[in-house]
Structure 1
Amino acid sequence: MQVLVVDTALGLCTAGVFEVDGAVVRPLGLRSEAMTKGHSERLAGLARDAAKDAGGFDGIDRIGVTVGPGSFTGLRVGMAFALGLGAALGKPVVGLSTLDALAEASDAPDRAALIDARRGQVYARFWKGGDAQGPAEALSIEDAQGRVAELTTPALIGSGSGLVLESAPGATVVDAVGARPEDLAWLTAALDPEANPPKPMYLRAPDATPPTRLPGQPRSAVPA
C-alpha cells in the first residue's frame, strides 16, 4: 500500500509518501521541516515535492494526518489539506493520534507518550505490558508523574518527558519534536479509515476566547 502522511501537530511540518508492506515501511519521498508556525505556507509545497519524488499522486492509496493533541492552528491546517487532497484524489483519509504515533518510537512494554501542553499540563497516554491504559488525556504534571511512577522502567517519549522524569528512575527518554514519519505511515496503513476519521482531538479548550462584543458595538455600561 502506498500512503501519504501529513503531520503539522507539533514542531514539524511533514509530508511523506511511503510504501507499506506489513511491517516493512519504505520511504519514496519525504519532506520535513522544523517549525511551530507557518505550516499553511509550506505544507502544499512539501507534499508536492514528496509526491514528485514518489512518482506523483496517482499511486497513493490512502492519506494519514495527525489529528492531535497538538497546536490548534497546526491541526486545522493539516486536516484541511489532507481532506481537500483526499477529496480531489478520491482516497480515504485516516486520522492519526499524535500520542499513538509518538509511542511507536519505542517497543518498550511500559511507555508513556507525553507532550508539554504548557500551563502546568501534559497531554499523555500510557501503555503497561504493551496495553494502552485508557485514552489520551490532559493531565497536571503532578498527576502525570503519579501515572508514570506506576510503570516499570518505562520509555518516555515526547516533549513532556522531562517534566515527569523525576518520578521514573531508570526510565529511557526518547526525545522527539514530532512523530517519526515512518511510524505515521505504518499507522496509516494499519488503521481502519472508518473507525479513525480525520476529526480533531482537542483535550482542552483553546487559549483564545471569542470577543465579548462585535466590532463597532459599544461597550457595556459599568455600574456605578
Structure 2
Amino acid sequence: MRLLVIDTALGLCTAGVFRVEGDQVESLGLCSEAMTRGHSERLAGMVRDAVRHSGGGFGDLDRIGVTVGPGSFTGLRVGLAFAQGLGAALGRPVIGLSSLDALAASVAPAAVTVAVIDARRGQVYGRVWRNGVASQPPEAWTLERAQTIVADAEILESQISGSDGEGIMIVGSGVSLISQAEGWPLDGPDPAALARLTAAADPAGHPPRPLYLRAPDATPPTRLPGQARGPRP
C-alpha cells in the first residue's frame, strides 16, 4: 500500500509518502519541519515535494492519513482541510488519526504507555495504554490529575513486570510537566508510526473529523460590527 500522511496538529508540520507491506514500512519521500504556525503557507509545497521525491505521482496513492487532534485548533484544521480536499480530488479514502494514538505508536511497546500533550492553561491531553490496549478514551487532565494517573501507571507497571522502572513509557510534549521520570518529549508523532496506523485503520471507523477535548480559547464576538455597545450593568 502506498500512502500519504499529513500531521499539523502539534509542533511539527509533516508530509510523507510511505509504502507499507505487512510489518514493513518504507519512507519514499518525507518533509518535516518544526512549526507552530504558518501551516497554510507551507503544507501544500511540502506535500508536493514529498510526492515528487517518492518517485511517483498523486495518482499512485492508495489512501491519505491525517492527524485530527487533540492539538492546535488552527494547525489541525489546515491539515484536515487539505487532506479532505486532496482525498476528494483523487477519490481516495482519508483516515483520521488521533495525535495521542500516534505518539504512543511512535515509541517501543511497553507494559504501560502514557501519551501526554501540553494543552496549556495547567492541563494536558492524555491517554493510557496497557500492553497496547487503550484503557480509557482521550481526555483533558489537570496537571495534578495527570500526575496521579502516571503514579498509578507506575504502580501498575511494577505489578505487571515485577520490577520498578521498567516497562512504562511516557511520551509527548507534556512529559516534563507531569513526571520526573525519563520519557520521550516528542513534538510530534513519528511519520512512520502515522503510516502504520493509516495502513491498518478501517476508513469507516476513523473519519477525518477534528478531535477537540476542550473548548477553543477564542470566543465569538458579543456584537456585530458597527453595533452599539449595550448599557453597562
Alpha-carbon shift at residue 28 of structure 1 (Å): 0.6
Please tell me the residue identity of whatever aligns with 1:155.
M
Q: Distance in 2 between matches of 1:205 and 1:72?
A: 10
Match 1:195 to one of 186, 205, 209: 205
Matching of residue 125 in structure 1 with residue 139 in structure 2: no
Number of residue pairs matched?
Answer: 219
Which digits, 9 at most, give the CA deviation of each residue in 1:63-111, with x for residues without a partner?
Answer: 0000000000001100000000000000000000000000012211211
Q: Distance in 1 between matches of 2:66 and 2:106?
A: 17
Structure 2, unpaired ranges of 5+: 158-164
Q: Secondary structure at the match of 1:150?
A: helix
Question: Is the Cα–Cα contact under 8 Å of residues 176 and 185 in structure 2 kept in the other structure?
Answer: no
Displacement over 3 Å in runs of 4+? none
Alpha-carbon shift at residue 128 of structure 1 (Å): 2.0
1:9-20 paired onto structure 2 within 5 Å: 9-20=9-20
Question: Is the Cα–Cα contact under 8 Å of residues 70 and 211 in structure 2 kept in the other structure?
Answer: yes
Question: Is the Cα–Cα contact under 8 Å of residues 20 and 26 in structure 1 kept in the other structure?
Answer: yes
Structure with the higher fraction of residues in helix conformation:
2
Alpha-carbon shift at residue 58 of structure 1 (Å): 1.3
Alpha-carbon shift at residue 132 of structure 1 (Å): 1.0
Q: Distance in 1 between matches of 2:35 and 2:223?
A: 34
With the length of structure 2 as denominator, give the TM-score of the two structures: 0.92
Alpha-carbon shift at residue 214 of structure 1 (Å): 0.4
Matching of residue 72 in structure 1 with residue 70 in structure 2: no
Which digits, 9 at most, give the CA deviation of each residue in 1:175-205, with x for residues without a partner?
Answer: 2110010000000000001110000000000
Q: Distance in 2 between matches of 1:89 and 1:131?
A: 34
Alpha-carbon shift at residue 39 of structure 1 (Å): 0.2
Q: Distance in 2 between matches of 1:105 and 1:18?
A: 15
1:87-102 paired onto structure 2 within 5 Å: 87-102=88-103
Q: Distance in 1 between matches of 2:93 and 2:112?
A: 32
Which digits, 9 at most, give the CA deviation of each residue in 1:6-56, with x for residues without a partner?
Answer: 000001111000000111100011101111000000000000010011111
Structure 1, unpaired ranges of 5+: none
Question: Is the Cα–Cα contact under 8 Å of residues 6 and 14 in structure 1 kept in the other structure?
Answer: yes
Q: Which residue of 2 aligns with 1:163?
A: 177
Q: Distance in 2 between matches of 1:143 and 1:95?
A: 28
Please tell me the residue identity of whatever aligns with 1:139.
W
Q: Which residue of 1 aligns with 2:188?
A: 178
Question: Is the Cα–Cα contact under 8 Å of residues 64 and 95 in structure 1 kept in the other structure?
Answer: yes
Q: Distance in 2 between matches of 1:67 and 1:137?
A: 14
With the length of structure 1 as denominator, give the TM-score of the two structures: 0.95
Which digits, 9 at most, give the CA deviation of each residue in 1:147-197, with x for residues without a partner?
Answer: 11111242110110111113xxxx441121100100000000000011100
Question: Is the Cα–Cα contact under 8 Å of residues 105 and 174 in structure 1 kept in the other structure?
Answer: no
Q: Secondary structure at the match of 2:6?
A: strand
Please tell me the residue identity of whatever aligns with 1:101.
A
Q: Which residue of 2 aligns with 1:147?
A: 149
Residues 21 and 172 of structure 1: is their aligned pair in 2 closer, same or farther, counting only changes over 3 Å? Answer: farther
Q: Distance in 2 between matches of 1:187 and 1:50?
A: 19
